[in-house]
Structure 1
Amino acid sequence: MFGRDPKPVQDPWTGQSSPDPDVGASSVIAEEGVKRGLKNRHLSMMALAGIIGPGLLVGSGGALSSGGPASLLIGFGVIGLIAFAIMQSLGEITTLYPGGGAFISLAERFVDKAFAVSVGWSYWFIWVCVLANEYNVISSICVFWSDKVPLWGYFLIFWFVFLAFQMLGVEAFGEAEFWLAWVKLLGLTAYFIFSIVYASGGLIGQDEALGFRYWRDPGPWNNNGFRGVAQVFVFRSTFYAGVESVAVAATECKNPGVAVPQAIRQVFFRIIFIYMGSAFFFGLSCPANADGLINGGSRALQSPMTIAIQNAGWEGGVQLINTFIFLTVLSAVNSSIYIGSRTILYLAKSGGAPRFLSYTNRRGVPVYAIILTNLVGTISQMNNSTGAAAAYSYIVNLSGVSTFLVWASISFIHIRFRNAWKIQGRSISELPFKSLWYPWIAYFGLAANIFLALVQGWTTLSPFEAGLFVDAYVLLPLFGIVFVVFKLVNKTHYWRLAEIDLVSGRRRDLDKIGGEEVLDEEAGYVGKKPAWWKKMWKDI
């Protein structure tokens, strides 16, 4: 048995032959050069908790201080509805077309290559900004623990460590994300329990119940009313950025036919438990006017969790919270480099970025794309002169509008797909994953994101602040400039609905999935469709 090549097995998803009996586990996808090494559990945990990091745990402090607990809760709910709409649209089309490039390739297929390039660069910009934020936070935490090493010294240490880890391949990334995601979920659950006990007056040595004291003083809106709600919309969009990342990771997943729909469904639980739960308990346990939240010049970023623990009288718990935040940031940096590098890889493959960035080594690692993405993370070092909190705000404002543009693009792509599907005489019953409440949910996602992209910076107009205005809106014209320049130079074609290719790259088992059979979760073979209650239990 040694020295023999394993019998080739045809992948039921792509139709390609693989020498590995465990289809996709280590087989290289020829078009992208990456390896399909992510298991379903990896993708599920990425969808549920993969990108939880400084945006939620630390950035919520700025949002809470600007708008108050009611503003935080409403904002998380509104953006959560939009994120849910986006994921329904994305789930329908990526399940049918699981090829590399996620919505970048979908934008090229259903709209225009120039449009795809604009979307791709906007998406990459989100993740390099998120990466810079995370390096900012992780370096600041280490300085808080020990200032014997300067801020830039900690940054360099982590920069090289994460660069080396990404070179190990997607299997190492997926396994690390799986266990770190569990730490995040367990940590948040523990904090929620602490908040309930704290509000109920059950802590040792606590004289009276906290109740909803902070909703009365400084009040639900922190004296800012609707202006406070509007001011932090851009923060909330950054918190939710990453729900769509399962489409990027699907290319390297062993069986995207099962993993992607399962991950899409779990986004609902992520919105309810993680985001809405965090918004409620942060506002319950931390006052919106706490000094640590509003001190923008502080080098050590303060989380609502840290302040709540301090107010409860448990000074030792502060170090525990910082350790928890540190672990979540490790995961968030890892995810940001992964998503950003794959985005630039797919752009390079399609001609939207320099060709050398499309290189992958024999382990399927996009070496140059990883180096470039990680290199741009050095903008985090602007905190050496501005302070960690101020640097965080500047970078978030730059990336926030890009999130709305990318999400609006996903809804637009979905609408174009459905219209082409109808015009070319195809039945909705053929789709393996159907979006809920189409067309209303797709048009809602498109309109809501365009609206928020236009109004998210309106508070900079009165009083007018030129620097903040440019910070909030500079990426809007940049999206259009990239589109126009690329289109004029490359003479790309805007597809009419009847011209759109609905066949190539489509899942080969469409008829079976639409009928009574589905792909097995890990092995990749076709079997009978499970009972509805088994599917529900598996999702939970």
Structure 2
Amino acid sequence: MSKEFEAGVTGSTSSGKDVSIEKNSPIETTTEDVQDGIILEDGLRRGLLGRHVTLISLASVIGASCFYGFGYALYLSGPLGALIGFGIIGFMVWALMQSIGEVTTAFPIAGGFIEHANRFVDPAFSFSMAWMYYFMWSVFLGSEWNGAILIMQYWVPEEKMPMWAWVLIFWGFFSVLSTLGIVVYGELEYYLGWFKIISLAVCFFISFLVNVGAFGNGYIGFRYWTPPEGPIVNGINGFGQVFVLASAYYVGTEIISLAAGETKDPRKSIPRGVNTVVYRILFVYMGIIFFQGIICPSNSDQLLNATSKAASSPFTIAFTQAGWKSSGHFINTLIIIAFISAGNGCIYVQSRALYSLALTGRAPKIFAKTSKKGVPYVSILTSCTWGLLALMNLKVTAGQVFAYMTSVGGSAAYIAWAGIVFTHLRIRKGMDKQGIDRSTYAFKAWGTIWIYRFNLFLNIFILFIQGFTAFENPFNWRLFVTSYITIPASILLFVGYKWYHGTHWVRCSEMDFSDRLMRLEDEEEEKTVSFTTKIISKFRQ
């Protein structure tokens, strides 16, 4: 059986040889292309199973900073302010994932939404979005390493292990781990994903016990939701900054679009992964904010903020105040294990984005090179090097590094999300114009199209207002730069690529939907195969 997939301009075989592939050319899948049940495509392997995709979508980017970084949201806006801010961004992410589900299930290609924008919008638009997305994850990787150093110093003080030494250890560790292949990545994320989910459940349960006074600390209830700790502190300024922080934590849900090119059965696995985002929003993000907000005061000087040289998780602060003096060891152990998963996830997204760019001629060709096991090792090792950004903490405090990186990465996230939603709207318009029945969609986004138009507006609106506190008197030029540098950078990338290559906007009538995965045809094929199998079975009997 053969399947047609969207191919880039240039590619790389599993043996490392470079190949040229015409756009929309069919890629034949033969028995020689299957090793250990893994199908090779453009040098990559389809090694991710449905259970991998589900856990990747649900828990892959629950990193170390989710345990301590949410304390920054409490510090900025108080427990209710943080909860509202994360709730609003949660709605945007849910709608985003519906857009991703509809497009990615129809076109499960290497590069995901990056190649969707290239094929259905404009190559210049895709180029700009892809590089901004790559740099966004590069910044987040440095932020994760920076946060892990903060935690490791709880056990090993800087006098015994300098911060630069931790950075080099992380670089060596992740350089090896991330080049072990897609199957290892999938299995690692699956089991670490379950570990993180169970760990959060345990933390929530202990938080409940602390809140009701089970440790002998007395009943807390909603004491910290009243002044001066809450429910909302710092007014509109703190609330606005939570939007940037929330985007930095929610980003990564779109990873399943990039993983589609390495997923065995995207028509079934991608929708399943998309649907889990609701649980991630409610259980992970809203759960963390709620429980940390009812047990930890937002004015604690141990919470992470821009002046922090060291910081504690709100869980650690509350558990210690309740009487569990060694809780720091427990929480920090969970954080470090979560850091391994999140760091590996950052590098995975970076490397696949860079690989896609190289595959289509928008990055040096060497980044499209893969090993015999289908590992894009050049892209991986290059991406891993961005973790050295954590060395910024040698000049400024770790809290400042966290704040700067969150601002840059958070604003870049809104650009990427707006691009994804816009691509979805363009594809939907093209399918309608070409008379394609929506009942044939392999996955259809929930509700009216106006939900997704409104989501596009929200992303653009928050992108422009998220750094408004920089304009207060006195003008904060550092905050202004970190909040808005991504906007002119993305415009420059778009205009520069369009001018140099002379690209044109893809018209709806020009869009090629011939290779999309369709619900009706697949279901009919499954029914035919099932019927044929039954007939053969009866004949043999």
Question: Deviations 1:92-117 (Å, cap 9, x if unpaired)?
Answer: 01000011110011001111000001
Distance (Å, rounded) in 1 between the aligned partners of 2:379 and 2:173: 16
Q: Is the 8 A contact 2:306 2:402 kept in 1?
A: no
Identity %: 37
Note the 1:235-314 alignment, pairs <5 A.
235-293=245-303, 296-314=306-324
Note the 1:361-400 alignment, pairs <5 A.
361-400=371-410
Matched, 1:61 2:71: yes
Distance (Å, rounded) in 2 between the aligned partners of 1:142 and 1:293: 17
Describe the shift of the 1:11–1:107 C-alpha distance in structure 2 as closer, same or farther (beyond 3 A): closer
Describe the shift of the 1:142–1:416 C-alpha distance in structure 2 as closer, same or farther (beyond 3 A): same
Question: Deviations 1:201-226 (Å, cap 9, x if unpaired)?
Answer: 222x33x2011111114243453122
Show the counterpart of 1:160: 172
Q: Is the 8 A contact 1:23 1:254 kept in 2?
A: no
Match of 1:28, SS? strand
Show the counterpart of 1:185: 197
Shift of 1:414: 0.8
Match of 1:494, SS? coil
Matched, 1:484 2:495: yes
Show the counterpart of 2:243: 233
Show the counterpart of 1:72: 82
Show the counterpart of 1:522: none
Q: Is the 8 A contact 1:95 1:257 kept in 2?
A: yes
Shift of 1:20: 6.5
Question: Deviations 1:368-418 (Å, cap 9, x if unpaired)?
Answer: 111111112211111122121111111111111111011111111111111
Match of 1:35, SS? strand
Root-mean-square deviation (CA, aligned residues, Å) is: 2.0
Show the counterpart of 2:103: 93
Question: Deviations 1:250-291 (Å, cap 9, x if unpaired)?
Answer: 111111111100000011111111111111111111110001
Describe the shift of the 1:378–1:194 C-alpha distance in structure 2 as closer, same or farther (beyond 3 A): same
Match of 2:44, SS? coil
Distance (Å, rounded) in 1 between the aligned partners of 2:189 and 2:233: 40
Match of 1:291, SS? coil
Describe the shift of the 1:168–1:383 C-alpha distance in structure 2 as closer, same or farther (beyond 3 A): same
Note the 1:32-43 alignment, pairs <5 A.
33-43=43-53
Counterpart residue identity of residue 239, structure 1:
Y
Show the counterpart of 2:508: 497
Distance (Å, rounded) in 2 between the aligned partners of 1:294 and 1:255: 42
Question: Deviations 1:10-32 (Å, cap 9, x if unpaired)?
Answer: 569987323279788322103xx
Q: Which of 44, 47, 55 does residue 54 from structure 2 map onto?
A: 44
Match of 2:332, SS? helix
Matched, 1:108 2:123: no
Q: Which of 429, 449, 456 does residue 466 from structure 2 map onto?
A: 456
Match of 2:276, SS? helix
Show the counterpart of 1:170: 182
Question: Deviations 1:188-243 (Å, cap 9, x if unpaired)?
Answer: 0011111111111222x33x201111111424345312222112210000010001
Count of aligned positions: 508
Show the counterpart of 2:38: 26
Show the counterpart of 1:470: 481
Q: Which of 321, 336, 340 does residue 350 from structure 2 map onto?
A: 340
Distance (Å, rounded) in 2 between the aligned partners of 1:353 and 1:10: 29
Counterpart residue identity of residue 62, structure 1:
Y
Question: Deviations 1:306-345 (Å, cap 9, x if unpaired)?
Answer: 2111221211111100100111111000000011100011
Distance (Å, rounded) in 1 between the aligned partners of 2:128 and 2:304: 36
Describe the shift of the 1:214–1:420 C-alpha distance in structure 2 as closer, same or farther (beyond 3 A): same
Show the counterpart of 1:3: none
Show the counterpart of 1:130: 140
Match of 2:303, SS? helix
Show the counterpart of 2:326: 316
Distance (Å, rounded) in 1 between the aligned partners of 2:506 and 2:232: 49
Distance (Å, rounded) in 1 between the aligned partners of 2:451 and 2:291: 29
Distance (Å, rounded) in 2 between the aligned partners of 1:492 and 1:12: 25
Tell me the TM-score normalized by structure 1: 0.90
Q: Which of 437, 441, 445 does residue 455 from structure 2 map onto?
A: 445
Q: Is the 8 A contact 1:345 1:366 kept in 2?
A: yes
Show the counterpart of 1:531: none
Counterpart residue identity of residue 507, structure 2:
R
Shift of 1:139: 2.1
Distance (Å, rounded) in 2 between the aligned partners of 1:44 and 1:244: 12
Distance (Å, rounded) in 2 between the aligned partners of 1:296 and 1:105: 37
Shift of 1:136: 0.8
Unpaired runs of 5+ residues, structure 1, are: 1-8, 520-524, 529-540
Q: Is the 8 A contact 1:55 1:238 kept in 2?
A: no
